[in-house]
Amino acid sequence: MYNFNDYVNEAIRTGEINTQKPVEELVRLIKQDLHLERWGFTVASKKMDAKAIEVIIQSDHCKVDVICTRDNSHLCSFDLAYARLHAPDQGAYMMYEGQKCICWHYLFSGILDFLDGMTPEEAVNSHWSGKKIIGLEQEPKIANLGKYNPERTLYFHDEIWTRYAPELFQLFDLRDQTLWKKYYEFNKEYVQLKFRGSDQFTVPPEMIC
């Protein structure tokens, strides 16, 4: 079975890890596994350095950063971060309306709970984020890939898109901020309950944009 980590290892062995080939292979997987055309996404930017391969895709609604981080064993771990279109491609923060705020967001930090209609208190006390994807990890398409196969993450998010669209993308849409304003209020209460005044953050987690 194909695994992007095997591809990376082969690129290291042949010296091609320092070329654009791993980036292009990741782009191929993203197009294949996330079905970009179906959702109106295109590849906006791509880059690679010694520790990571990064591809940003963008639609009329939002942008998504697909990050493949390589550890010392060269294995890739994948993550996807979501942003509104005003967010810079680089950096987790930006200045917005005179204040520094968090502009890249992760779905499992309250967003799916909000879209499920949960209250902040219910979300904080929940043992699972995303009612619509409960049991998804056990479905053969994902479970058969193995826990650490990077493609598992891409399939997982494609299923999230299928089950949470169009509201998921509307949430980030700058053209109509109705849903975002509701989420902003949800997040303020959610992080207050979750972190209870912790001062460990560079930017307070209620400061989102």
Q: Which backbone phi and psi does 207 adopt, to 5 degrees?
A: -90, 90
**Quick one: what percent of the chain has pLDDT higher than 90?**
63
Query: For residue 73, what pLDDT is reported?
Result: 60
> Residue 69's closest CA among 147, 8, 130, 146?
8
End-to-end alpha carbon distance in the chain:
40
Confidence category of residue 182, pLDDT binned at 50, 70, 90:
very high
pLDDT score of 17 more than 70: no
Helix 150-164 vs helix 21-33: crossing angle, to nearest 10: 40
Judge contact between 85 and 174, C-beta under 8 A.
yes
The predicted model scores a pTM of: 0.91
The letter for the amino acid at 112 is: L
Ramachandran bin of 135, using left for φ above 0, alpha for ψ from -120 to 50, beta for the remaining angles: left
d(CA 152, CA 158): 10
Of the candidates 115, 198, 203, the residue with the CA atom closest to the CA atom of residue 123: 115
| pLDDT tens digits, one per residue of 154-178 | 999 999 999 999 999 999 999 999 9
Euclidean distance between CA atoms 177 and 123, whole angstroms: 22
